[in-house]
Amino acid sequence: MAVAVPDQSPAHGSEGGRCRACGGSFERAFEAEIMGELTVTYHRCVRCESLMLLDPDWLDRAYARDLVPNPDSGALRRTLFVSRFIRRLRGTGLIPRSYRSLDYGCNVGMLVRLQRDRGADAWGYDRYATPKFAEQYCSQQPPAVEPKFDLVTCIEVIEHTVDPVDVLKSFRAMVKDEGLVVVSTELVDGQGDLSKWSYLALEHGQHITFFSSAGFTTALEAAGLVWLASFSLHGIRLPLIVPNALGPSERAARTIEYPTSTSPAASPSRMLAAFFRMRRAALCSDWASTG
């Protein structure tokens, strides 16, 4: 993907100046003030156009702050949406009726609790938050690789990470070959003037990695995952991701082009059939019923 910005300067710092998504080099994009006190420089990858803040040595401070009111007013609505999405994954056979799941970056543990209330073997991990809704099922320690999960969710978390490919690799290691990964994050594609993008979340300074569609695809591939398709509804985008457990010839035989998706991908035909059945019949009506 070409980028016509002539003023390239090498990125600096301990990260080595390489894009966290694709390993490409950077150009300076713009400066902004985060947390009302610190001027930072955003860099954009010249290869995949992902945007990021390098060497974020302010993160401990950023997470120690308790913003009142909390700017993330959509957290409850988003969690209910994802909970319904998971119920449809189960109802259509994309995950087993009796499934084991991990919510990576579980925050207060609400999604873990909602799944547990419906009988799922749900677990959570969050390095920073207190999971008051499901404390006995959540940990601040990274989860073990075994036993593997049928489903890994990562909702509004990957943009907080300095090592997203390593995080995605950990998902691949933790999820079954026939399992699913659901990662929500906003992409830079089509956002216009990125310096005015609300998803930068300048007030809390915790968003540091913003994928482009191309960068996200590349990062997933590096982690052994495949972007199947995305739900995007009412401002929430939910990429549905599967382990790349098929060989190249099998994958090629099952590749389907998605005319409405930004990321054509491959998947077993059983998953595709269930996916489209779910989208057509269930999700939109469920969303409407949340008011």
Q: Which residues bind Zn ion (CB under 5 A)?
A: 19, 21-22, 24, 45, 47-48, 50, 215
Q: CB-wise, 8 or 290, nearer to Zn ion?
A: 8
Of 202, 58, 85, residue with least CA distance to 155:
85
Of residues 115 and 209, the one with the C-beta less far from Zn ion: 209
Helix axes 164-174, 213-222, angle to 10 degrees: 50
For residue 79, give Cα distances in angstroms to 39, 154, 167, 226. Answer: 32, 11, 21, 24
Nearer to Zn ion, 169 or 204 (CB): 169
CA 125 to chain centre: 15
C-alpha 210, offset from chain centre: 10
Token duo for residue 101? 């799941």
* Backbone angles phi and psi of 13, in degrees to 5: 105, 180
Nearest distance, CB of residue 16 and Zn ion, angstroms: 13
Q: Quick one: which of 92, 68, 82, 94 has its CA closest to 124?
A: 82
- To the nearest whole angstrom, how small is the minimum distance from the Cβ of residue 24 to Zn ion? 4
Q: Supply the minimum distance, in Å, between the C-beta of residue 159 and Zn ion.
A: 15
Min dist CB 93 to Zn ion, Å, is: 36
Question: Which bin fits 261, alpha (ψ -120 to 50), beta or left (φ > 0)?
Answer: beta
Q: How far is the CB of 87 from Zn ion (least distance, A)?
A: 35
Of residues 81 and 197, the one with the C-beta less far from Zn ion: 197
Closer to Zn ion by Cβ: residue 47 or 78:
47
